[in-house]
Amino acid sequence: MDNKNRPIGFFDSGVGGLSVMKEAIQVMPNENYIYFGDSKNAPYGVKSVEEVRDLTFKAVEFLLNKGVKGIAIACNTATSAAVADLRKIYPDLPLVGIEPALKPAVELNKDGNILIMATSMTLKEEKFNRLMNRYKDRASIIPVPCPGLVEFIEAGKLDGKEVEEYLFEKVNTYNGGKIASIVLGCTHYPFIKDTLVKIIGKDITIIDGGLGTAKELRRRLSEKNLLTESRENGTIEIINSSNKNEVIDLSYRLLNK
């Protein structure tokens, strides 16, 4: 197959990375996509870094065996655990990761705290701490670990009392100070954005890194002259390690949400 017509691979610990692939489909509608979600092993955020690194390496190998021309690690947690090593192992592969979109939040220059919602691992890892150090003098940044939130989304629970109560408690802890914006630093979280808006109101800006990552992927593919020349809509294949029909159904539902 012509290299340009090979698919793009997407990977996440589960269904979350679909929020990023959705943006990529908007930006590059003529590309073919293969999405691999590792829901059987989700959540990653509470595992050890070594475990997440191994699972991510395996997923990348799986996608490469499927003939992908580039890969998006559409998971903040897997990115912080594995992307630096992956770049060393596959120096020629167009590879993008994702990290909490702190820069656009700081550049909004709004009065108040910036809350970064993410998994405990993302917030603990060096990658995020470097990012935070870069901006800590310009804004008040508060990391908000959200254990348990990925599980709601993996179960298809995007709204309702339980999710609302969870989010209310998280956000209320910071009620002491004004909230300027909330960064969704986990690719699962854009799927509960509507429920979050219901709780915090429309005045607080909610930011995620999906679109930025999709554009970066396009830039890296273009750099290697790997963008398709097809003018037809591309194909989408979703594979999930859990092998459960409900998870595949949920994946398509989220992609079309």
Q: How many C-alpha atoms does 96 have within 13 Å on its Cβ side?
A: 26
Smallest separation (angstroms) from ligand DGL to the CB of 92: 25
Give yes or no: 75 in active site: yes
Give yes or no: 146 in active site: no
240 labelled ligand-binding:
no
Smallest separation (angstroms) from ligand DGL to the CB of 43: 3
Residue with Cβ nearer ligand DGL (29 or 147)? 147
Q: Which residue is closest to ligand DGL by CB?
A: 45
From the number of C-beta atoms within 10 Å of its C-beta (0-12, 13-18, 19+), residue 231 rates as exposed
Site string for ligand DGL, 142-161 (x = CB under 6 A): --------x-----------
Q: Please name the residue that has the structure tokens 């021309």.
A: 69
Which parts of 41-100 interact with ligand DGL (CB under 6 A)? 42-45, 75-77
Q: Which helix (H) or strand (E) holds 234?
A: none
175 labelled ligand-binding:
no
In the list 8, 12, 32, 125, the residue contacting ligand DGL (rule: CB under 6 A) is 12
Smallest separation (angstroms) from ligand DGL to the CB of 51: 11
Q: Rule CB under 6 A: say whether 251 interacts with ligand DGL.
A: no
Report the C-alpha gap between 166 and 161 in whole angstroms.
9
12 labelled ligand-binding:
yes
Of 250, 207, 220, nearest in space to 27 by CA = 220
The contacts found for 60-65 with CB under 8 angstroms, 24 or more apart, are 60/9, 60/11, 60/86, 60/90, 62/36, 63/9, 63/11, 63/34, 63/36, 64/9, 64/90, 64/93
Q: Please name the residue that has the structure tokens 């298809």.
A: 156
Residue with Cβ nearer ligand DGL (59 or 75)? 75
Site string for ligand DGL, 174-213 (x = CB under 6 A): ------------xxx-------------------------
Q: Tally the residues of the chain.
A: 257
∠ CA 224-228-234, rounded to 5°: 140
∠ CA 76-82-85, rounded to 5°: 145
Q: Which of 15, 24, 25, 75 is catalytic?
A: 75
**What residues make contact with ligand DGL under the rule CB under 6 A?**
12-14, 16, 42-45, 75-77, 119, 122, 150, 186-188
- Residues with active-site annotation: 75, 186
